[in-house]
Amino acid sequence: MTAIASADLHDPAVFQAGIPHDVFAEMRRTPGLTWSPDSNGTRGFWSVTRFEDLVTVSRDTATYSSGEGHIQIYDIDDDALAARASMIDMDPPIHTRLRRLISSAFTPRHVQDYRAAIQLRVAACLDELEASGGGNWVDIVAKPIPIGVICDLMGVPEADHNYLIGLTDHLVAGTGAEPLEPTAYGNTTDLRLLPFNSPAAFAMSQYAAELADKRRQEPADDLITKLIEAEIDGERLSTEEFANFFRLMIFAGNETTRSSMAHLALHLAQFPEAFDAVRKDRSLISAVTDEVIRYSSAILYFRRTVMTPTVLSGTELSPGDKVVMWYSAANFDDAQFSNPHEFRVDRPTSSPHVAFGGGGAHFCLGASLARLEIAELIAAVLDRGISFASVGEPEYVESNFVNGIENLEVAL
Ligand code: HEM
Q: Which tens digit of pLDDT belongs to each residue from 189-214?
A: 888 888 888 899 999 999 999 999 99
How confident is the model over 267-283, as pLDDT tens digits?
999 999 999 999 999 99
Number of domains in the chain: 1
Q: Highest mean pLDDT: which of 72-76, 181-185, 199-203, 364-368?
A: 364-368
CA of 300 to the centre of ligand 1 (A): 12
* Separation between Cα atoms, residue 365 and residue 386, nearest integer Å: 31
C-alpha dihedral (14, 200, 292, 361), degrees to nearest 10: 100
Beta bridge partners of 376: none
CA of 222 to the centre of ligand 1 (A): 20
Pocket residues: Cβ below 6 A from ligand 1: 58, 87-88, 99, 106, 150, 248-249, 252-253, 256-257, 260, 293, 298-299, 302, 327, 355-357, 362-366, 369-370
CA of 364 to the centre of ligand 1 (A): 3
Q: What is the pLDDT of residue 288?
A: 96
The residue among 330, 332, 336, 327 whose CA lies nearest residue 402 is 327
CATH for 70 = 1.10.630.10
Q: What are phi and psi of 133, to 5 degrees?
A: 65, 20
Ligand 1 atom nearest 58 alpha carbon:
16
Please, which pLDDT band fits residue 299 given cuts at 50, 70 and 90?
very high
Q: What is the pLDDT of residue 64?
A: 98
| Choice from 364, 372, 376, 378 to test ligand 1 binding pocket (greatest atom count within 8 A of CB) | 364
- The domain of 383 spans 3-411
- The pTM of the full predicted model, rounded to 2 decimals, is 0.95
